[in-house]
Structure 1
Amino acid sequence: MASASIKEFGKAWWSEVYNRIIGAVVFLDEASAECLHWDGGLFNLLSGGAVSVKSLSPFEFSRKEHKKAVFITQTTSTQLRTIHEIIRNSDFAHCILISTISLDVVLLEINEGKDVSDVITAGRGPAEATKQLEAMLIEWIGKKQCAAEIVHIPIFTITPTNVVFLTPPFTKVYPTYDGKLIPDSTSLDLFTLTSQERSEVRRLASGLNGLMDSMNLKEDVFYMGAYSSLVAGVLQNSPVCLARRKNCSNPASLILVDRTLDLCAITSHNVESVLDKVMAVLPRFPGHANDVAVDMSALCEANVISHPEDMQLSPGCLYHADEACIQTLDYMINKSQKEVMFDLYNKLSKLDVQKSPGPKTLLKVTPQSVEKIISASKGNYDVIVKHLGILQQAIGVVQTLKSPKRAQFDLLTSLEIQVLQNLAASRDSTSVLHQISQLIKSRKDRNLPLENLLAMIVHVYSLIGTEVSFSKSHEDSLMETLSVAIFEDHRSLFEESGKMVTPEECDEIAKNIMARLKDVAQMRKILVKYNSVLKPCETGVGHEYKGVIHQLVDDMVDTERPELVDLRYKNEGIKDLLRSGLNILTSKKARTTKHPLDNPTVIIFVIGGITAEESKRLHRSVITSGVDNTVIFGSTRFVTPAEAMRDVLAL
Structure 2
Amino acid sequence: MSTPGVLTFTQQAWEQVLAKVKRAVVYLDAACAESLHWGCGSSRLLEAVGNSACYLREFEPAAVAGGAEQPKAVFVLSCLLKGRTVETLRDIICRSHFQYCVVVTAVNHAVHLTANHVPPAAAAELEGQQPVFEQLEEKLWAVGHHGDNLVEKILSVLPQLPGHTNDVMVNMVELTALQAKEENQNMVAPGCLAQSNDPAAKALWEALLNTKHKEAVMEVRRHLVEAASRENLPIKMSMGRVTPGQLTSYIHLFKNNLKALGNHCGLLQLGLATVQTLKHPQTAKWDNFLAFERLLLQSIGESTMSVVLNQLLPMIKPSNQRTNDDYSPEELLVLLIYIYSVSGEFSVDKDLGEGEEKVKKALAQVFCEESELSPLLQKITGCDSSINLTFHKSRSAVDELFTSLRDIAGARSLMKQFKSVYVPGNHTHQASYKPLLKQVVEEIFNPKRPDPVDIEHMSSGLTDLLKTGFSMFMKVSRPHPSDHPLLILFVVGGVTVSEAKMIKDLVPSLKPGTQVIVLSTRLLKPTNIPELLFTTDRLHPDLGF
Q: Please tell me the TM-score bracket, short chain as reference.
A: 0.7 to 0.9
**Other-structure match for 2:364:** 483
1:66–1:92 contact (8 Å) kept in structure 2: yes
Matches within 5 A, 1:521-532: 521-532=409-420
2:316–2:362 contact (8 Å) kept in structure 1: yes
Pick aligned residue for 1:320 from 182, 195, 217: 195
Per-residue CA deviation, residues 583-619 of structure 1 (Å, 9 max, x unaligned), is 555x5xx223321011222101110111111111111
Shift of 1:94: 1.1
Per-residue CA deviation, residues 187-212 of structure 1 (Å, 9 max, x unaligned), is xxxxxxxxxxxxxxxxxxxxxxxxxx
Matches within 5 A, 1:186-585: 269=146, 271-303=147-179, 305-306=181-182, 311-321=186-196, 322-352=198-228, 355-358=234-237, 362-424=239-301, 426-441=302-317, 444-445=322-323, 446-467=325-346, 471-489=352-370, 491-494=372-375, 499-500=384-385, 501-503=388-390, 504-536=392-424, 540-572=428-460, 579=467, 582=470, 585=473
Pick aligned residue for 1:152 from 115, 134, 154: 134
CA shift in 2, pair 1:582/1:46, >3 Å: closer
CA shift in 2, pair 1:354/1:577, >3 Å: closer
Distance 1:130 1:423 in 2: 59
Distance 1:490 1:529 in 2: 46
Distance 1:577 1:328 in 2: 48
1:334–1:613 contact (8 Å) kept in structure 2: no
Aligned residues: 512
CA shift in 2, pair 1:430/1:58, >3 Å: closer
CA shift in 2, pair 1:79/1:380, >3 Å: farther
Shift of 1:63: 2.8
Calculate the TM-score normalised by the size of structure 2: 0.87
Calculate the TM-score normalised by the size of structure 1: 0.73
Distance 1:491 1:282 in 2: 20
2:508–2:514 contact (8 Å) kept in structure 1: no
Distance 1:54 1:79 in 2: 15
**Other-structure match for 2:83:** 77
Distance 2:22 2:466 in 1: 55
Shift of 1:513: 0.3
Shift of 1:467: 4.6
Shift of 1:38: 0.9
Letter in 1 for 2:8: E
Distance 1:24 1:577 in 2: 48
**Other-structure match for 1:99:** 105
CA shift in 2, pair 1:597/1:370, >3 Å: same
Per-residue CA deviation, residues 442-467 of structure 1 (Å, 9 max, x unaligned), is 77133322111111110110000115
Letter in 2 for 1:444: R
1:70–1:98 contact (8 Å) kept in structure 2: yes
**Other-structure match for 1:68:** 72
Is 1:592 the equivalent of 2:477?
yes
Distance 1:479 1:612 in 2: 32
Distance 2:259 2:66 in 1: 35
1:349–1:355 contact (8 Å) kept in structure 2: no
CA shift in 2, pair 1:151/1:584, >3 Å: closer
**Other-structure match for 2:94:** 88
Distance 1:79 1:301 in 2: 45
**Other-structure match for 1:638:** 523
**Other-structure match for 1:619:** 504
1:99–1:150 contact (8 Å) kept in structure 2: no
Letter in 1 for 2:422: L
1:103–1:130 contact (8 Å) kept in structure 2: no
Equivalent residue of 2:57, what SS? strand
Distance 1:76 1:325 in 2: 39
**Other-structure match for 1:199:** none
CA shift in 2, pair 1:156/1:490, >3 Å: farther
**Other-structure match for 1:231:** none
Distance 1:64 1:455 in 2: 53
CA shift in 2, pair 1:468/1:605, >3 Å: farther
Shift of 1:305: 5.0
Distance 1:23 1:538 in 2: 68
Equivalent residue of 2:367, what SS? helix
Equivalent residue of 1:98, what SS? strand
CA shift in 2, pair 1:565/1:538, >3 Å: farther
Shift of 1:310: 5.4
Shift of 1:505: 1.6
CA shift in 2, pair 1:489/1:575, >3 Å: farther
Please, which runs of 5 or more residues in structure 2 have no aligned partner?
A: 537-545
Equivalent residue of 2:153, what SS? helix
**Other-structure match for 2:60:** 57
Q: What value does the CA root-mean-square deviation take over the aligned residues?
A: 2.7
CA shift in 2, pair 1:635/1:312, >3 Å: same
Distance 1:637 1:326 in 2: 20
Distance 1:403 1:76 in 2: 44
Give % identity: 26
Shift of 1:538: 9.4
1:316–1:392 contact (8 Å) kept in structure 2: yes
Distance 2:186 2:85 in 1: 27
CA shift in 2, pair 1:423/1:68, >3 Å: same
Letter in 1 for 2:25: V
Shift of 1:303: 5.0
Shift of 1:50: 4.3
1:107–1:128 contact (8 Å) kept in structure 2: no
Distance 1:544 1:617 in 2: 15
Shift of 1:574: 9.0
Distance 1:76 1:312 in 2: 40
CA shift in 2, pair 1:536/1:127, >3 Å: same
* Bigger Cα displacement from structure 2, 33-42 vs 527-536: 527-536
**Other-structure match for 2:540:** none
Shift of 1:514: 0.5
Letter in 1 for 2:86: L
Distance 2:126 2:182 in 1: 48
**Other-structure match for 1:8:** 8
Distance 2:464 2:23 in 1: 53
